[in-house]
Structure 1
Amino acid sequence: MSVVGIDFGAQSTKIGVARNKGIDIITNEVSNRSTPTLVGFGTTCRAIGEAAKTQETSNLKNTVANIKRLIGRSFNDPDVQIEQEYNTAAICDVNGQAGVEVSFRQKKEKFSATQLVAMYLAKIRDITSAELNLPVSDVTISVPAWFTDVQRRAMLDAGEIAGLKVLRLINDTTATALGYGITKLDLPGPEEKPRRVMFVDIGHSDYTASIVEFRKGELNVKATACDRHFGGRNFDRALTEHFANEFKEKFKIDVRTNAKAWARTLAAAEKMKKVLSANPAAPMSIESLMEDVDVRTIVKREELEAMVQPVLDRVTGPIEQVLAEAKMKPEDIDSIEMVGGCTRVPAVKDAIAKFFGKSLSFTLNQDEAIARGCAFSCAILSPVFRVRDFSVHDIVNYPIEFTWEQSADIPDEDTSLTVFGRGNIMPSTKILTFYRKQPFDLEARYANPEGLPGKTNPWVGRFSVKGVTADANDDFMICKLKARLNLHGILNVESGYYVEDMEVEEPVEDADAMDTDAKGDEQPKKTRKVKKQVRKGDLPISAGTSSTDSSVKESWIESEKTMYADDKRIAETDEMKNHLESTIYEEDDKVLGQYQELYDLIKGEPAEVEQKKKELEQSLAEYRKTLESLKDWLYDESEEGGEAATLEAYKAKVKEIETLNKPYRDALMEERLRIQEEEFAKKRAEEEAKRQAEEQAKRAAAAAMNFEERNETVMTDAPAEGDKQ
């Protein structure tokens, strides 16, 4: 089982996985540690992530960005209208939700933001699965702290559509705090003063500041404040507007009238912003930007800061707000941890450091801290990993109240109650008590609609309590409802039951009483009667929330499965087409080499050799002619040509080439085997001759030795001269 944390960003996404006794940030199919958060639609299939980034400029109207900032929002929300400025695809209404209208497979299609996020998460799932060689299911996903109930429910729906089990939606800065605290071994103990850390996270499009208190084994979020429209893209936009004005005056071209020219200028502005974070000045040059005009310019850091001064004036806003909510002063903060790409901007760092009057801390990886925290969170919730005990106590950012109709039998009854106030710890459960004689409804709403992002509907859910009746004495039923704000920050009324006031006996604790009498016999323990509420039965509850309707969700799941299967088949078809193309050219070169080798290997009588070579040349000509016809078919754009062929057709052509080449391979193999056998026989003959020569030499040597021994014997046995016989 895999443990995966996803930092789902507006511009790019990072993936953390638990392995090798730590957290790794994995790379995608092109070895990048972050994947562009883009979904593109083409004439045949979708392009997601890196593929969408590659074709973004050529397919602007059908490439969707900032999908994170669209999910769970209505089309009429002012924030959504702002997103149109940062999106080249047309944002539209899809069943009351924000979505996009694109051209997909030669026709107009509408997709909701929930579907778009699901498409993207499916791609992230595939990237992770390919890296781990494991199926991916359990994940933790980061979301901004300002996400409302409807946005969080939409994220869970998107995860379900993508085939993922979301163990937790965790706030960005809470994930960062978890990654920071769980690795620290020097945190203060339970009785000591906590370590107070402010996490400042400024990313591509939003800015969050959180104050977190750390003790050994736990973190407590004390307060969080956000600016939803402060991020790196504001700097990019300001630079692009500056260039548009300069190019109009200097080069007589207006990039605002050309979408591709604007997109290229925006990309160049983003690169320049990064250069200016480390250098006092940066050049910029774009060839043939528009109307064959090359542009070049140079910008100093001071000029950029002047362009974005209205944005920089807001840099301390969230910090001041979070300190006020936590009832703290700057000197109460022990450390200021900076994360997010935009915290590299010198003007931002200088303004925050000046506010606190001390240096900032950059101990965390600014780009990957959230992904690491998400992976730690997933590991804590996963049963297959052992992680150091660490409790995470996040807080409610928007107060939630329940409202209901007044009971006719209780004229002075209140009709609303703030159940989860701002700063309330979550997850959290509250028990609500009602006195009723018949079924009733209650609604959950955000108590302060003006504090919600954009024009979000404050309605959270409606809950109908069934099975309520008066008792035998026509008295009230005491109804208890369990309202819970869960790990994801989502509200539900999980269960309902009714109780009765009853007298029960309970033992009396009396330290001086004796349990035995004078004879040593045990005396009965003293008891007393007390009134208690005893649970008597359950009350059915039907809930209406902003979650996607089950029938709609099922249709989206089926649609995603179909599109995914089609994309996979098209990718396999393209891969097989490329394989066929490379095979054709490889075989063309290979067959020439095989032909030459066979030509040189042919042996025999002159007439026989000439005939074999003639047949070989004729066979080669036919084979190469077949390869040429395959090339013509492959590049034929007609309906029967290779450009429109199916996966099976490409496979058949590859098989055809293999069949065509078989006689050459077989003939070449036979010739090689024949030569090997001849060489082997020759070698064996040489070895046999050598062995026989060596044996003959040994025999000759042995014979010579025997001859000498016989001569010596004759000489020794012969009588000396003068001896008598």
Structure 2
Amino acid sequence: MSVVGVDLGTLNTVIAVARNRGVDVITNEVSNRATPSLVGFGPKSRYIGEPAKNQEVSNLKNTVASFTRLAGRALNDPDVQLEQEFVSAQLVDIDGQVGAEVTYMGKKEKFTATQIVSMYLTKIKTTASAELKLPVTDVVLSCPVWYTDAQRRALLDAADIAGLTCLRLTNDTTATALGYGIPKVDLPAPEEKPRRVVFVDIGHSNYTASVVEFKKGELAVKATAWDRHFGGRYIDKALVDHFAKEFKEKFNIDITENAKAKFRVLAGVEKLKKILSANSVAPLNIESVMNDVDVRGMLKREELEELIKPMLERATLPIEQALAEAKLKPEDIDAIEMVGGCTRVPALKAAIQNYFGKPLSFTLNQDEAVARGCAFNCAILSPVFRVRDFSVHDMVSYPIEFTWEKSEDIPDEDTSLIVFNKGNVLPSTKILTFYRKHPFDLEAKYAKPEQLPGKLNPWIGRFSVKGVKEDPKGDFMICKLKARLNVHGVLNVESGYYVEEVEVEEPIPDEKKEGDVRNPISSPVHGHDNTERAVKRRRMSVVAEVPPDERELTSDQAMDVDSKDSKEPPKMRKTKKQLRKGDLPLSSGTASLDKANRDSAAERENEMFMEDKLVADTENTKNELESFIYELKDKMLDVYAPYANDDEKSRLNTKLETIEEWLYDDGDDASKAQYVSKMEDIRSIAGPIIQRYKDKIEEERQVVLKKQQDAAAAKQADIERKKREEESKKQAEAPESKDADMTDAETTKPDGVEEPSS
């Protein structure tokens, strides 16, 4: 069983696997540890990952980047409009979702961002399977902490379309924190002060800061803040804008008018930026950037810092916000772990270090920390790996409220309730209690839309509760709904049931314990409060309570054992309890794809995958044919020449010339079957010649083998002969030695020993 963690980045993706009693980052087909997050479309097939990067400059309009930032969003979202600057393909609306319009296999096609993510995940699945030599199904994917319910559902749908089971969709910095904490053996004990670490992750397009507390065997995310428009690509953009002005003045060219020229400059400044991370000055040289003009330039580190000054001015804002939400100060932090490629920029490191007043820590691999954390998480969730016990307590990023229609029977009823507050532990479950006589609907949405990224729709889902009716007395049915934010950060109303109040007897607790109950979550039914006013109050209110299996027992709940020595029976009292009587059918509508659309997308993805495979196999067969022609031409001059007569040589050379001409003319775009047919045509003539050569080689090999066997037999016979001669010699010498020994024994007497008298 495979255990795979995937850091699904905006620029690159890193794949890590649990094996060899640890976690390894695996390489792709060209031995790179990071795979470009690109999907390209061509006349015959798709280009995904490294192939997409290789053809990007020549196929800009049909290459899609930054697709992880597009999934689960709409075209009219301001963030998506800003994203168009970093996506060369044309973004379009597809049934309310953003997608890309490309030319694929000679015709215009539209693919949603979710479909494009699924295409890329199929490639990741293939890469991991090839490395592990096992089928890959279970993965843990990373995503930015600011992703909403719709964006998370889009990634889960993409994984499903790609044939993957996402065990957990984890936040980037949470994965990093897990990878940091799980190998450590020196974490504080549960009763001690926790170790507080700030994780600063600045990647290609995101900046996230998380405050995490560690104790032995657990981590708890206390606060997280982010800047969605801060990262390496914004530095690249500033550099491109700078050199565009410089080239216009010095070389009289405008790269902003030519997409390919702009892309070449972008590739150049990315290298320049990396050089400036370790050097004070760096050159930029690009040949034939446009109009056959070669350009060159120089940039100092101080000039770069001036260009990105607006970014540097807000370099510590997410950290300050995270610390404020966690109610901590910089001096309360024990370590500051830096991850992400952009944390190599000296000016950023200096700004963050000056804020904390202490050295920064780089103990984690800046490019691979998230993927390693995802692999650890996958190993924890997998039944085939034994991992040190380590619990992860993430947090809710946005407050979520439920709204519903007012009941006709309760005119002054509240119609909304914030059920999950920002900062609540994730995953989390709440029980909602409703008093109804008829079926009803409720909706979930984000309580503060202004906090969402861009202008995302705050709507999460609509849930319909069926089977609700009056009880036999004409009173309200007590309906309970189980709302859960799962490990992915996705909200669902998982089940519904109704209860009935019954009167039971229970022991009266001691007075001391009675006053010690500290459970902050009240049941909607309180003892003997049977007044009409209390009943009305219960029916008007909707209560969100933690389900029993997730509550911590208070002192009077933890143990209820009667003493054996007690002489008096406990005092009893009557109280009301709620007993579950039956289930309530539920139907829901969310941002997830329905089964029909998901199956249709999976079928389409499988078709495209098989087309890609056929194209790859055809290309391999074509290369084999070409290599076979060159090999035969070369070997017919010397190796195969003695084994063919003149007629065979003539016919074979003619056939090779004919097929070679066809291969570079009409056969350049032939089918796999045609290449195989041409290969068979050649073998029909060359086969007998090659067979004679092989027979001769085999004959010579047998002769050499016979000689080796004869030599070995002769050597063995010689050894046996010498052995027999030595044994004969020993037998011949044995009697003479025995007589000599007996004579010596008879004539020699020990000193001081007299011979006995007769």
1:665 Cα shift? Answer: 2.5
Give the Å deviation of 1:509: 6.9
Post-superposition offset of 1:464 = 0.6
Q: Which residue of 1 aligns with 2:175?
A: 175
Report Cα offsets for 1:617-649 as digits up to 9, x if no partner. Answer: 232111111111111221223xxxx22321122
Aligned to 1:692: none
Q: Give me the whole-angstrom Cα distance separating, in 1, the residues matched to 2:702 and 2:324.
A: 93
Cα deviation for residue 345 of structure 1 reads 0.3
Tell me the amino acid that sits aligned with residue 572 of structure 1. D
Task: Describe the SS at the equivalent of 1:578.
Answer: helix
After TM superposition, give the deviation of residue 662 of structure 1 in Å: 2.0
Compared CA separation, residues 257 and 595, structure 1 to 2 (3 A)? same
User: For structure 1, which segment, 504-513 or 298-307, has the greater mean C-alpha deviation from structure 2 after superposition?
Assistant: 504-513
> In structure 1, how many angstroms separate the alpha carbons of the residues matched to 2:335 and 2:710?
88
Indicate whether 1:551 and 2:596 are aligned: yes
Query: Does residue 569 of the first structure (1) align with residue 598 of the second (2)?
Result: no
**Displacement, 1:247?**
0.3
Letter in 1 for 2:61: K
Residue matched to 2:650: 621
Of 683, 686, 702, which aligns to 1:658? 683
Amino acid at match of 1:580: L
- The aligned residue for residue 630 of structure 1 is 659
Partner of 2:418: 418
Q: Please say if residues 515 and 524 of structure 1, whose CA atoms lie closer than 8 Å, have aligned partners that are also in contact.
A: no
* 1:667, distance to aligned residue in structure 2 (A): 3.3
Contact 2:461 2:591 in 1 (8 A): yes
Q: 1:541 aligns with which of 561, 586, 593?
A: 586
AA of the residue aligned to 2:125: R
Q: Secondary structure at the match of 2:645?
A: helix
Task: Give the percent of matched residue pairs that are identical in Structure 1 and Structure 2.
Answer: 64
- How big is the shift at 1:378? 0.4
Q: 1:592 to 1:526 in 2, by over 3 A?
A: same
TM-score of the pair, normalised by structure 2:
0.85
Equivalences for residues 640-651 of structure 1 within 5 A: 642-651=667-676
Whether the 8 Å CA contact 2:36–2:50 is kept in 1: the answer is yes
Q: Which residue of 1 aligns with 2:275?
A: 275
1:526 positional shift: 6.3
Q: Distance in 2 between matches of 1:339 and 1:647?
A: 47
Q: Match of 1:224? A: 224
Q: Which residue of 2 aligns with 1:163?
A: 163
1:534 CA displacement:
0.8
Alpha-carbon distance in 1 for matches of 2:16, 2:371: 5
Could you tell me which residue of structure 1 aligns to residue 438 of structure 2?
A: 438
Aligned: 1:460 with 2:485: no
Please give the secondary structure, in 2, of the residue aligned with 1:189: coil
2:195 is matched with: 195
Pairwise CA distance, 1:425: 0.4
| Alignment root-mean-square deviation, CA | 2.3
Report how far residue 13 of structure 1 moved: 0.2
Residues 680 and 327 from structure 1, CA distance in 2 versus in 1: closer, same or farther, beyond 3 angstroms? Answer: closer
> Which whole-Å CA distance do the structure 1 matches of 2:706 and 2:181 have between them?
77
Instruction: Give 2:629's match in structure 1, choosing from 558, 566, 584.
Output: 584
Rounded to whole Å, the distance in 1 between the matches of 2:108 and 2:330 is: 54
Specify the alignment match of 1:252 in structure 2. 252
Q: CA deviation at 1:123?
A: 0.2
Q: Which residue of 1 aligns with 2:14?
A: 14
Q: Is contact 1:239-1:269 (8 Å) kept? A: yes
> Which stretch has the larger CA shift, 309-318 or 391-400?
309-318
What residue number does 2:501 align with?
501
- Counterpart AA for 1:503: E
Tell me the distance in 1 between the aligned counterparts of 2:461 and 2:618: 47
Counterpart for residue 700 of structure 1:
none
Specify the alignment match of 1:358 in structure 2.
Answer: 358
1:668 paired to 2:693: yes
1:119 offset after TM fit, Å? 0.1
**Corresponding residue number in structure 2 for 1:393:** 393
What do the CA deviations read for 1:102-127 (whole angstroms, capped 9, x no partner)?
A: 11111111000000000000000000
| Partner of residue 93, structure 1 | 93
2-structure distance, mates of 1:512, 1:295 = 89
| Mapping of residues 365-380 of structure 1, within 5 Å | 365-380=365-380
Q: Which residue number in structure 2 is paired with residue 239 of structure 1? A: 239
Would you say the 8 A contact 1:500–1:535 is kept in 2?
Answer: yes
Contact residue 429 and residue 482 of structure 1 kept, 8 A: yes
Cα–Cα, structure 1 residues 592 and 321, in superposed 2: closer, same or farther, change >3 Å?
Answer: same
Q: Which amino acid aligns with 1:368?
A: E
Change in CA separation of 1:461 and 1:279 when aligned onto 2, cut-off 3 Å: same
Distance 1:681-1:351 versus aligned 2 partners, 3 A rule: closer
**Mapped partners of 2:641, 2:406: distance in 1:** 98
State the AA in 2 paired with 1:593: D
CA contact (8 A) 2:652 2:682 kept: no
The one-letter code sitting in structure 1 at the alignment partner of 2:652 is: Y
**Alignment check: 8 A CA contact 1:515 1:525 kept:** no
Provide the residue aligned with 2:531 in structure 1.
Answer: none
The aligned counterpart of 1:68 is 68
CA distance in 1, matches of 2:563, 2:64: 78
SS at match of 1:134: coil
Q: Which residue of 1 aligns with 2:298?
A: 298
Q: Is 2:403 the counterpart of 1:403?
A: yes
CA shift, 1:407, in A, is: 1.4
Shift of 1:242: 0.4
SS of 1:593's equivalent in the other structure is coil
In 2, the alpha carbon distance for the partners of 1:121 and 1:218 equals: 30
Displacement of 1:212 in angstroms is 0.2
In the alignment, is the contact (CA less than 8 A) between 1:595 and 1:620 conserved in 2? Answer: no
State the distance in 2 between where 1:323 and 1:672 align.
78
**Residue 408 of structure 1: how far off its partner (Å):** 1.8
Structure 1 residues 195 and 668, CA gap change in structure 2 (3 angstroms)? closer
Q: Partner letter of residue 589 of structure 1?
A: D
Whether 2:576 is the aligned partner of 1:531: answer yes
How far is the alpha carbon of 1:672 from its aligned partner? 5.9
Distance change (3 Å), C-alpha of 1:439 and 1:283: same
Residue ranges of structure 2 left out of the alignment (5+ in a row):
511-560, 712-758
Separation (CA, whole Å) in 1 of partners of 2:30 and 2:385: 29
Residues 39-118 of structure 1: matches in 2 within 5 Å? 39-118=39-118
Q: Name whichever of 326-335 and 674-683 sits farther off.
A: 674-683
With over 3 angstroms needed to count, the CA separation of the structure-2 counterparts of 1:512 and 1:94, relative to structure 1, is: closer
Conserved in 1, the CA contact under 8 Å of 2:640 and 2:690? no
Moved more, 399-408 or 20-29: 399-408
Which amino acid in 1 is paired with 2:86? Y
Letter in 2 for 1:3: V
For residues 229 and 152 of structure 1, the distance between their equivalents in structure 2, rounded to whole angstroms, comes to 19
Question: In the alignment, residue 128 of structure 1 is paired with which amino acid?
Answer: A
Q: What secondary structure is seen at the aligned counterpart in 1 of 2:580?
A: strand
**1:558 partner amino acid:** E
Kept in 1, the 8 Å contact 2:635–2:641? The answer is: no
Q: 1:294 to 1:478 in 2, by over 3 A?
A: same
- Judge conservation of contact 1:442–1:464 (CA < 8 Å) in 2: yes
Query: TM-score, normalized by length of structure 1?
Result: 0.88
CA distance in 2 between counterparts of 1:271 and 1:339 reads: 20
Residue in 2 that maps onto 1:698: none
CA distance 1:677–1:462, shift in 2 (3 Å): closer
Q: Distance in 2 between matches of 1:155 and 1:225?
A: 22
Give the structure 2 partner of residue 602 of structure 1.
Answer: none
In structure 1, C-alpha distance between the alignment counterparts of 2:642 and 2:122, rounded to whole Å: 51
CA distance in 2, matches of 1:161, 1:185: 40
Residues 684, 126 of structure 1: alpha-carbon distance in 2 compared, 3 angstrom cutoff: closer
Q: Whole-Å Cα distance in 2 between the matches of residues 448 and 672 of structure 1?
A: 81
